[in-house]
Amino acid sequence: MSLSCAFSAVIAVLTAVPLLLLPASSLAEAPAGESLPDGIEVPEKALCNVCALRGADHGDEDVVAWRYVDGELYTFCSEPCGEAFDGFPAAYIELPVPRPAPEAHVALLDGTDLALHDASGGLLLIDFWATWCKPCIQAIPELTEIQSDFAEQGLRVVGVSIDEKGADHVRKFVEKKKIPYAVAVDHGEAPAWAAFGIAAVPSAFLLDADGRIIAEWKGKSQPDEIRAAVEAELTRSAGS
């Protein structure tokens, strides 16, 4: 794993989308046979969508590469960032919410299989993390407090570790940090992080009682936003 909290995966592109990689000198014009919709222009400077997700937000930079996918323009500060998007576009494309959670299974530390797409009639907060990720570790007390505050109202928190060292390594870390909520280890052959479209940790997803993703935070930990989203959904469901 990288020393940073960003990680990338080389997998097959799951859907066919128009991908355009242009040299900086050609950014103002689309290549032959391609065109952007009226009113859409590639800016000279913009936020790199890949760097921002990986937690290395440098602010607006020269746009070296870009993609136009499903009505959205994605800009990049370098060709490697554009290539990272090509390798795993699902991690960077903004998807609508609410939406059904993808089918994914992980193994709890006791070996029990857990279906992440099954909220079992309550709220489920899935936190993808790693023992080597400092922001992930810093979020543990806040996630613990969120579960404690809302457990009686039906919230479950599950931390899904992407560590490659296995369950024993994660179990020792959990015991050392005294993590009270459920912790699972991602599968290697069909990883949940790929199903959920994650390219960086920490990343979190809030699922409602119907197993739909109603809020998500990719590549960052936002405890205040998570708490607000949980409170809003509990209020909504109580009034329905």
Give yes or no: residues 119 and 205 share one domain: yes
Element at 172 (helix H, strand E): helix 167-177
Mean pLDDT, the chain, whole residue set? 83
One domain for residues 67 and 142: no
Is residue 45 classed exposed, middle or buried when 0-12, 13-18 and 19+ CB atoms within 10 A define those classes?
A: exposed
- Amino acid, res. 236: R
Tell me the pairing of strands 72-76 and 60-62. unpaired
Same domain, 114 and 68: no
> Strands (DSSP E) along the chain, which ranges?
45-47, 60-62, 65-69, 72-76, 99-100, 105-108, 113-115, 123-129, 155-161, 182-186, 203-207, 212-217
Residue among 57, 72, 222 nearest 136 (CA): 222
Q: According to the model, what pLDDT value does residue 211 have?
A: 95
Residues 176 and 65 in one domain: no
For residue range 82-132, list pLDDT tens digits in order.
888 888 787 787 788 899 999 999 999 999 999 999 878 799 999 999 999
CATH number at residue 235: 3.40.30.10
Reduced to 3 states (helix: H, G, I; strand: E, B; else coil), residue 59 is coil
- Residue 89: burial class (beta carbons within 10 Å; 0-12, 13-18, 19+): buried
pLDDT at 132: 96
pTM tops 0.95, yes or no:
no
User: How high is the pLDDT of residue 121?
Assistant: 79
Q: Which of 91, 114, 134 is the last residue of a domain?
A: 91
What distance in Å separates the CA atoms of residue 162 and residue 158, rounded to the nearest whole number? 13
Quote the domain boundaries for residue 63: 24-91
Look at residue 137 in the predicted model and tell me its pLDDT: 96
Q: Look up residue 99 and give its two tokens.
A: 């939406």
| pLDDT tier for residue 57 given thresholds of 50, 70 and 90 | low
The answer to whether residue 165 scores a pLDDT higher than 80 is: yes
> Residue type at 149?
D
Q: What is the token pair recorded at 207?
A: 């699922």
Task: Please report how the helices 134-150 and 223-239 are oriented relative to each other, as an axis angle in degrees rounded to 10.
Answer: 30
In three-state secondary structure terms, 179 is coil
Chain centroid, CA 70 distance in Å: 19
Domain check: are 84 and 122 in the same one? no
**Domain co-membership, 79 together with 179:** no
Q: Work out how many domains the chain is built from and give that number.
A: 2
Domain-located, residue 3: no
Q: What is residue 215's predicted lDDT score, i.e. its pLDDT?
A: 97
- Is the residue at 171 inside a domain? yes
Q: Give pLDDT, residue 34.
A: 52
Q: Is residue 36 part of a domain?
A: yes
Mean pLDDT of 57-68: 86
Residue 126: which of 112, 110, 111, 146 has the closest Cα?
146
